[in-house]
Structures are given as C-alpha cells and as structure tokens.
Amino acid sequence: MFSRPSLCGTVGKLCRCGTSTTGAAAAGGTTTSPAVSALALCEARRYHEVVGDIICPSQVRGIDHIRDPRLNKGLAFTLEERQVLGIHGLQPARFKTQEEQLQLCKIAVNRYTEPLNKYLYLSDLHDRNERLFFRFLSENIEDLMPIVYTPTVGLACQRFGLIYRRPHGLFVTFNDRGHIFDVMKNWPEPNVRAICVTDGERILGLGDLGACGMGIPVGKLALYTALAGIKPHQCLPIVVDVGTNNIDLLEDPLYVGLRQKRVVGREYDDFIDEFMEAVVKRYGQNTLIQFEDFGNHNAFRFLDKYRNNYCTFNDDIQGTAAVAVAGLYASKRITGKSFKDYTFLFAGAGEAAIGIADLVVKAMVAEGVPIEEAYHKIYMVDIDGLLTTTRKVGSLDGHKVNYAKDVEPMADLEQIVSTIKPNVLIGASACAGLFTPKILRTMADNNERPVIFALSNPTSKAECTADEAYQNTDARVIFSSGSPFPPVVVGDKTYYPGQGNNAYIFPGVGLGVICTGTHHIPDDMFLIAAQELANFTEATDIERGSLYPPLASIRDVSMNIAIGVTKCAYDKGLASTYPEPQDKRKWLEDQLYNFNYECSMPVTWTWPRMPYIKTRELVPTKLYGKKKNEEIL
C-alpha cells in the first residue's frame, strides 16, 4: 500500500559510500565516520509511512499523492495543488470535480453485467481513490450493497485465490502463535478502533472457506465507513488462519491459506486468547472486536467467554437478532398483536436462530412477560427435528436447552407446523427450499397475516423465495428475507419485500460504541438498535410490503441507532469518554468521516508585521580553552 522511494542526491551518495567503505575497512582501508553511517542508515530506512486520518502534506512528495489511495484525488487535483505537490505533468490537463468522477464511476460499474466484475471494479477503485470509493458506495448503497456485501461477497470469497491483489487486512496464522503482537505491529495504522475478525469456518451459508473468508470482514468494515461514517483508517479486517477442513480448498492450487486441517481444542482456544490479548496490547481495551462467521460451536463459546472482559460482539448472533426483532416489532403494526400473543417456530437452531430467540425473550420480558412464559412461546427445530426434553443427554448443547419442550418428538417440518400452528415462522437453516408450498399454505390457513422470515443467505440458501411466499399465501404474508429478492407482482399489486440485512444494525452500534469508548456491549444495546430501526419504518414502507426502511435511508438509521447506543452507554456507566455530551447527535456528527475531497495544500498562515527594534552592536564571544588564560576569539 505504501511506496518506498529510492534514495537520490547527497543522501544516496552517502549510503553508497557507506556500503563501499565497509568493504574497504575489511580490506584494511579507511572507515566511514559514525555520523555519516548513522545518517546513511537513517535515510536508507526512510519510506512512505503515512498513517491516521490527518495527513501532513509535507510528509509526502510528488507521485506519492497519486499512489496513496488516501491522498489521491485523480483529476480533481487543482492546478495549484499539482504544481506545489510536484505532480504537474503527471496527469492530463483536464480538471474534474468529485461529482464528475462519481458520474464516471456509475457509468463504469454499470458497464459490467456480472456482479463479480462489479465487485472487482469497486475493489480497484478502493485501491486507487479511497475517498471517492466511500462516497460512491455511500450515495449508491441500494445498488452497491449487494455487490460489496451479500450476496456477491460470498462469490468473491469463493474466488478469493483468483482475485486477490493487495492486502486490505491482516492474516494472522496459527504458525504465528507466540508472536501475534509482532504481527499486529506490522499494520501501519496506530489508531485502530474497530476490528472485524473471522476464522473462515462458516462463511455465510457457504461453509468452511478458511483464509478466503477475508472478503467478509473487508466488506463489513467498508459498510462501517459508508453507512456510519466511521473513519476507514480506524477499521482493521483480520483473518485468523488456523487451517481449513474443506478438502477442495486444500487441493486447490489457488488457495492462499495454510494447507492443513483446522486446529481445534485447547491449542485453538489458546491461540484466540493470545489474539485477543494482542489486540488490547496494541490498540487498547476499548477496541471494538466484532466476531464474524465463526462456527456455531465456537460462536457462543467465545461470546460468553469474552463479552465481559473485552469490547466485543458477534454479528451473526446479536446483529442478526436485532434486525430480525426490528422486523417483528414492525409486524405488530400489521397484525395488531403483541409478542405475548405470538407463537414462534424457528427452522434452524444455530447461532442466528438462538440469537434471535434470546433477543425475542428479552423483548417479551421488557413488555412484562415472565421469562418462563417467554421461553415457552418459542419452538425450535434443528437437523434432528423439534427440540424436546426427551432427547439424549448431550444432544441439547449450550443455549438450545432453554427452548426444548416437553412434547412428543417430531422430525417432519410440515407436521410440526401443522401441530404447533405458529404465528411466526423464522428460517435460519441455510437449507434452500425448506419452506415448501404446503408449509406456506398451512401458515396461511392458520393465520390471517402469517409472519414468515427466510433469513438464510446468500440467496441460493434461502428457505423460500419472496415470490413463493406471496403466491402460496394469497399475498397475505408478512415477509422478510436475509438476501435481496426482486419485487413480486400478485394481481394488480406489486410488493417490494424487505431485506433483514445486518447492515441496518452493526454500523450504528459500532459508531456509538467507538465514540463513547464503551468497555463492554450488553444485549440492551441491540434491543435499542432493533427499536430504533423499527421506529424508522413508515406506513408507506409497510404498505409496499417491506418491514424495513429503504436502504437509501440507512445512514440516518445508523445515526439514530448510534444516538440510542450512546445514551445507553452513559446511562449504564459503560462509557469512558467524558464529559457526557449534551447534544449527542452533533457530538457524533463531529467525529464522522468526510466523504468530500479536502485541500491537499500544506496549511499556511501569516504573521503580524514585526516591529523594528534597534539592537546593540554585535560583540565577539570569548571562549576559553583548557586553561583560562588561553583565550580563543
């Protein structure tokens, strides 16, 4: 990312001189003086290492302003900037505004028909012109979010070995154990505030992709900046590479990660412990660590293990839960029911389903429902069927125990739906087509307005499509999905199904946590985020078939969530930034990233005219040698 200019002029001669005289000294010749050697060594180590959000123009010269994506403005450099910075003549004579560049970007990306090609264009733009990339993404989020994030990012991860060009994050391998802090020091930014980390074991619904999962934290943190205005230099994507159990990847000549089976057990846990300690040692206790796409068996363990000792959350558990509960809050405006009137059935009992169920319980308790009754309202199905108390000991691991029911075991989902008669059916199974037409029709027969969420992503893993949901329920369904679906026409009406995308949640939560310096992130913050998102959904959105506001308003949603998280942090004594701001919106806005180009010229200022003061006559200073009587003039 950073250029290393060659030495030239006197300094270059000194370095070359120092090299040659070293050989001469070995042959009995003269040696270079220590001062010259020190200067030569110092200059030999000089390279462009500009870090942070505020870059002093005097630190870099010439072509570095074009090579560094944080400094580059392309043809938007003014004539004065080109001349002063030493890049005049390195670009064509045309001068463009950022708005003209944005128009060109839109034309360029629309030339591609394949989503992966659009992804590659945006990645290249990110590498060339950071500020233009983030403004383009921020202002065209409806069109570009499916490219930089789900579903296209899944394909990018699958093709990662082929499309990898330059680093956008850190790869910390199991071979680095004992030296993870040294690896962390190699990242040039000293002020990292948010880290998104994955071990690549469960990338979306695609399974174990190992080190190729880097596309996920890169995409997540790009949305941190585009949607919440978190400064990009404060974000660090990381893959902890402990191997992969994907045989196809291990045999793939293009695979970029460790070619070994996954490390498990005590060694794996110790490695993650060392990683967490290295993050705090390098960047501080308040560094936000977002866990992403870890395996189900590790996700809850790490959340429970680290949540009270680090500033951390798991987006697959808590972020997914918040966006789903926001959709459920919005659905109450259609059904006229409260949560205590709902019976929930979850198809899938992984981290997403458990996370949603846990937050639903918290929401019901907030409405005055006893916690035992709240758990009783929720049924769950995994690969072996309905969770029941009669299962073998050990088969109900972790949080599943809370949702096991004292009923007859059932394995067929159609039978379970017919027997339980749920009001809400939520899919988080990554099993395409699980919600059959018969199941959808049964939901419609049992409910005037059935609530059906098909949350698995990417699109190829969804339990049903939006079209199937509307067609098999006479368009009475209240539908949400985890991946985008096209509009559905039923009769003379067009429905625009809403996407329950985590991107509604985690950028705003991240902004509030980072700005307040929160030490730990309680579930209350995600319930607040869900309520803020639901409040942003208008009647017109619901009328057109969406439980969520348009993606075009997602930056406003993120700000409202950040304000709610900020209030929660101060109310609960979790914030470390004091004094508490009175106008929290303005306080947050003052800390946001500026998407517009800034002046590249060094800051200059004038001094007042110096008054004339007559000075005394200059008299030579007398110095003394070893003896006082030896004067030296």
Instruction: Measure the CA–CA gap between 223 and 238, rounded to whole angstroms.
Output: 15
Average pLDDT value for the chain: 89
Separation CA 346–CA 327 (nearest Å): 15
**pLDDT number for residue 140:** 97
> Is 501 within any annotated ligand binding site?
yes
Residue 406 labelled as part of a binding site: no
CATH of domain 318-500: 3.40.50.720
How many residues are listed for the chain in this entry? 633
Q: How confident is the model at residue 618 (pLDDT cuts 50, 70, 90)?
A: confident
Give the number of other Cβ atoms within 10 Å of residue 618's Cβ: 6
Higher pLDDT pick, 424 / 16 = 424
Rounded (to 5) percent helix, strand, coil in the chain: 50, 10, 40
Average pLDDT of the segment spanning 389-398? 75
Mean pLDDT of 137-159: 94
276 vs 182, 296, 311, 514, CA distance in Å? 13, 19, 10, 17
Sort residue 589 into left (φ over 0), alpha (ψ -120 to 50) or beta.
alpha
What is residue 392's predicted lDDT score, i.e. its pLDDT? 75
Q: Which residues pair with 452 in a beta bridge?
A: 425, 479
Is the pLDDT at 44 greater than 50? The verdict is: no
556 is in an annotated binding site: no
pLDDT at residue 393, as a whole number: 61
Is 612 tagged catalytic? no
Q: What is the pLDDT of residues 6-31, one digit of tens each?
A: 334 433 333 434 444 434 444 444 44
Examine the pLDDT at 419 and tell me if it is beyond 90: yes
For the record, the structure tokens of 374 come out as 């709240």
Phi-psi region of 452 (alpha: psi -120 to 50; beta: other; left: phi over 0): beta
Q: Shortest CA distance to 155 belongs to which of 205, 189, 201, 121?
A: 205
Q: Which of 118, 220, 362, 461 is catalytic?
A: 220
Domain ranges (residues) in the chain: 1-47, 61-96+603-633, 149-294, 318-500, 504-589
Contacts of residue 147, Cβ cutoff 8 Å, sequence gap at least 6: 115, 118, 119, 122
Phi, psi at residue 499, to the nearest 5°?
-100, 120
Q: Indicate the helix (H) or strand (E) that contains 480.
A: strand 478-481
pLDDT at 43: 41
**pLDDT score for 42:** 42
**Does the fold of domain 504-589 match that of domain 318-500?**
yes
pLDDT score of 27:
41
Q: From the candidates 73, 119, 149, 570, which is the catalytic residue?
A: 149
Residue 381: its H or E element: strand 378-382
pLDDT tens digit sequence for 67-102: 999 999 999 999 999 999 999 999 999 999 999 999
What are the two backbone dihedrals, phi and then psi, of residue 312, each rounded to the nearest 5 degrees?
-145, 155
Question: How high is the pLDDT of residue 623?
Answer: 67
Copy the structure tokens of residue 261: 């089976």
Q: Which of 594, 554, 585, 555 is nearest to 567 (CA)?
A: 585
Q: pLDDT tens across 357-392, in order?
A: 999 999 999 999 999 999 999 999 999 899 999 887
Buried b vs exposed e over 4-43: b needs ≥16 C-beta within 10 Å?
eeeeeeeeeebbeebeebeeeeeeeeeebeeeebebbeee
The answer to whether the bond into 611 is cis (omega within 30° of 0) is no
Q: Using 50, 70 and 90 to split pLDDT, how confident is the model at 628?
A: low
List pLDDT tens digits, range 115-127: 999 999 999 999 9
Under the banding of pLDDT at 50, 70 and 90, the label for residue 295 is very high
Question: Is 447 labeled as ligand-binding?
Answer: no
CA dihedral (340, 342, 347, 352) in degrees, to 10, reads -40
| Residue 342 is a catalytic residue | no
CATH class of 504-589: alpha beta
Does the annotation list 316 as a binding residue?
yes
Q: Strands 493-495 and 488-490: what pairing? A: antiparallel
* Portion of the chain with pLDDT greater than 90, in percent: 79
The residues, ordered by sequence, that sit 6+ positions from 549 with a Cβ below 8 Å of its Cβ are 533, 536, 537, 538, 541, 557
State yes or no: pLDDT of 41 exceeds 60.
Answer: no
* pLDDT confidence tier of residue 204, bands split at 50, 70 and 90: confident
Residue 457 counted as an annotated binding residue:
yes
Helix or strand (DSSP H, E) at 631: strand 631-632
**Using the 8-state DSSP alphabet, how is residue 354 labeled?**
H
- Tell me the two tokens of residue 259: 């070619």
Residue 432 tokens read as 């395409």
Whether residue 160 is predicted with pLDDT greater than 80 in this model: the reply is: yes
Tell me the C-alpha distance between 196 and 166, whole Å.
18
User: Where is mean pLDDT largest: 2-6, 32-36, 116-120?
Assistant: 116-120
CA–chain centroid gap for 138, Å, is: 14
CATH of 149-294, one of 3.40.50.800, 3.40.640.10, 3.30.300.10, 3.40.50.10380: 3.40.50.10380
| Cα 278 from chain centre | 20
Per-residue model confidence as pLDDT tens digits over 500-556: 999 999 999 999 999 999 999 999 999 999 999 999 999 999 999 999 999 999 999
Element (H, E) at 26: helix 9-26
- Mean of the pLDDT values across residues 236-264? 97
Question: Residue 571, by phi and psi: left (phi above 0), alpha (psi -120 to 50) or beta?
Answer: alpha
The token pair that represents 8 in the structure block: 């030239």
Beta strands in 2-126 (DSSP E): none
Alpha helix locations (H) across 160-229? 160-163, 180-185, 215-228
Tokens 């839109």 sit on residue: 106
Q: Which regions of 178-325 does DSSP assign to beta strands (E)? A: 194-198, 235-241, 288-291, 312-314
- Give the HSE-up count for residue 544: Cα atoms under 13 Å, Cβ half-sphere: 13
Whole-model pTM: value is: 0.86
Residue 55 scores a pLDDT above 80: no
